[in-house]
Structure 1
Amino acid sequence: MSTKGAAAVVVECVIPILSVRSIQASIRYYVDVLGFKVDWGGDSTDMASVSRDDKAIMLCQGDQGQPGTWIWIGVEDIEPLYEHYRVMGVSFRQPPTNRPWAYEMQVEDPDGHVLRFGSEPRTDRPFA
């Protein structure tokens, strides 16, 4: 079997699917608290897509996805995001921390999923 044809197919995106207890509550959290927008779904379905800057996350009330999924989200600068999320009452597993691979923070959503927001490591701070 030849894989030449398959190798020529371009991967257009990779979208995580998060299992949620309530599709409506999760949409409200991702939109109102984290600043995402609804792409589709959620009104009368058990699945929806939310995105920020055209980067999507699917939310599914049902058997797709696993509880406690971790997602890495690269951003330009986490400092203003951290300040905004702090004011919004976001639950942080870890505040901004300088690591060799990134300056990152960990946000936990109401369903226990962890979003690791990170930007380039800080040169003005030591690594944790």
Structure 2
Amino acid sequence: MSQIRSVFGTPVPELPVADVPRAQQYYREVLGFEVGWLYPGDEIGAVLRDNVTIFFRKKQPPFEAAIHWIHAPDIEASYRELTDLGANIVDPLAEKPWGLRQFTVQDLDGNLFHFHHG
């Protein structure tokens, strides 16, 4: 059996959203992403920021929201930026009992992002 270890890239989450263009606009204006692409028919699209890519797929509510963790090397700067942009911070920046400094953002469709450092 071969011991060659292949290389994996960064995972790309696909989030359920009610309206893909609306989600892209929110992520651009409030979370600082760039719109990557939008498939004809507005059923699927993507946004990009640094080394993070997120896909959106149109779903009919109700749907189960997704939860993602994003490492932020400068957590204080990330918190200030997203607060200043008007992100929906549902759990403010704090030191957690599990040893991480983190805060949580909720998007328009209920998807959660735990930004963390530590």
Separation of aligned partners in 1, 2:13 and 2:100: 21
1:59 corresponds in structure 2 to 56
Tell me the TM-score normalized by structure 1: 0.77
| Rg (Cα) greater in structure | 1
Tell me the TM-score normalized by structure 2: 0.83
Structure 1: runs of 5 or more not aligned: 121-128
5 Å-filtered alignment, 1:1-12, equals 4=2, 8-12=5-9
Supply the RMSD in Å over aligned alpha carbons: 2.2
Contact 1:108–1:115 at 8 Å: present in 2 too? Answer: yes
Q: 1:42 Cα shift?
A: 5.1
Separation of aligned partners in 2, 1:57 and 1:101: 27
Q: 1:57-110 deviations in whole A, cap 9, x for unaligned?
A: 1111137xx532110000111212222222222211100011234210000001
Indicate the percent of aligned positions where both proteins have the same amino acid: 25
Shift in alpha-carbon separation, 1:12–1:84, aligned structure 2, 3 A: closer
Residue 112 of structure 1: SS of its match in structure 2? coil
1:40 corresponds in structure 2 to 37
Equivalent residue pairs, number: 115
5 Å-filtered alignment, 1:1-128, equals 4=2, 8-41=5-38, 44-62=41-59, 67-99=64-96, 100-120=98-118
Q: 1:43 Cα shift?
A: 5.8
Structure 2: runs of 5 or more not aligned: none
